[in-house]
Amino acid sequence: MAAVTRSNVVTNASALQKYINGVKLLKAELPGPTTVSLGIAGPSAKISTHDLFIVWHHIAMSTFTPSTQSDRNAAHRGPVFLPWHRFMLRQLELNLQRVLHDNSFGLPYWDWAADGQLSAAAQKTAPIWQAGNFGGQGDPISTGPLAPPQFLVKIEANSSGSLVQTNHGLRRAFGVNGAPTLPKRTNTSGALAQTQYDQAPWNTSSAGFRNYLEGWNPALGLHNRVHVWVGGDMLPSTSPNDPIFFMNHCNVDRIWESWMQKPGGPGRVYAPGDSEAAALKGHRLHDTLSSLLSGTTTPSQMLNVTSLYVYDSLVV
């Protein structure tokens, strides 16, 4: 099967419509397991395919590596951030292809740095937030195809960090949680200028491309800044509740691919290697990704996926 093309969600109306339709189909699909089987408080209920991705992300964020510290976890704050989310995106893409009956569907991306070039006020009304696209902000949002009752949040993390059942509309609050604006082109250029993928101490204080793109060093940059700027349901560990989550991460993945393909750049490199300390288990080149669905997949297998998908543009 030929590689699918991932395109800009703002300029490809067909990809946008298919994505929204697919998300709703996955939200309505109830294959199990149940909330009780996963230890989620409340009456027993089947979990939708869409919501399994939310549970998956929450568990990864709650699994520290090693378990004795509270910084690096199984999918964030360390080297595996990019390959872990690349794998997650691909699993969503495959599920969307299945329910849409369209093997040519490619998961679209949100080029948030393009919106970041706008004024702070204009960012809040950019095309992506129009009623015909993802809708705007609110508690809950009231416009667009994801407004209630068309789309409801069913599982979320409470103040104690535990998963609980809920039933409310999607929430967003633009630019009010400490990030008044989105990243700009100068920020993505700064990421591409990094010469090393990652380095010791392999956490939020590390220098290198991964930590720059994830948004810890410099602080509140790129990926992290987008989560904080969107706010609402994009803030906690259950941030995949907002379908814009995957548009954000698809763009993050696109920036990673651009970095690896940059002329004269580092190429498809990854660190740490297998010889690093056991405390880094889950983040080394040939460690199995820690997740509900990864099987035996490793970071090394996520470095070149051009046989599966390509981007319509690597200009970031």
The answer to whether 224 touches 214, Cβ cutoff 8 Å, is yes
Structure token digits, residue 282: 């889950």
Query: What ranges make up the beta strands (E) of the chain?
Result: 4-6, 152-157, 163-169, 309-311
Whether pTM > 0.85 for this model: the answer is yes
Instruction: Count CB atoms within 10 A of the CB of residue 70.
Output: 8
Confidence (pLDDT) at 292: 57
Confidence (pLDDT) at 64: 87
pLDDT in 10s for each residue of the chain, 316 residues: 789 999 999 999 999 999 999 999 999 999 879 999 988 988 899 999 999 999 999 999 999 888 777 789 999 999 999 999 999 999 999 999 999 999 999 999 999 999 999 999 999 999 999 999 999 999 999 999 999 999 999 999 998 889 999 999 999 999 999 999 999 999 999 999 999 999 999 999 999 999 999 999 999 999 999 999 999 999 999 999 999 999 999 999 999 999 999 999 999 999 999 998 888 999 999 999 976 565 789 999 999 999 999 999 999 9
Radius of gyration from C-alpha coordinates of the chain: 18
Q: Where are the domains of the chain?
A: 4-311
Query: If 0-12 CB within 10 Å is exposed, 13-18 middle and 19+ buried, where does residue 288 land?
Result: middle
Structure token digits, residue 253: 């993945």
Query: If 0-12 CB within 10 Å is exposed, 13-18 middle and 19+ buried, where does residue 91 land?
Result: middle
User: In angstroms, rounded to a whole number, what is the distance separating the alpha carbons of residues 120 and 182?
Assistant: 8
User: In angstroms, rounded to a whole number, what is the distance separating the alpha carbons of residues 167 and 187?
Assistant: 37
Confidence (pLDDT) at 291: 62
Confidence (pLDDT) at 71: 84
- CA-based nearest residue to 7, from 262, 313, 226: 313
- Which residues neighbour 183 within 8 Å (Cβ) at sequence distance 6 or greater? 112, 113, 116, 221, 222, 225, 226
Instruction: Count CB atoms within 10 A of the CB of residue 4.
Output: 17
The answer to whether 92 touches 53, Cβ cutoff 8 Å, is yes
Q: Residue 164 pairs with which residues in a beta bridge?
A: 41, 156
- Does the bond joining 299 to the residue before it have cis omega, within 30 degrees of 0? no
User: In angstroms, rounded to a whole number, what is the distance separating the alpha carbons of residues 140 and 270?
Assistant: 40
4-311 in CATH: which number? 1.10.1280.10
**Exposure string for 161-197, b = 16+ CB within 10 A, e = fewer:** eebeeeeebbbbbbbeeebebbbbeebbebbbebeeb
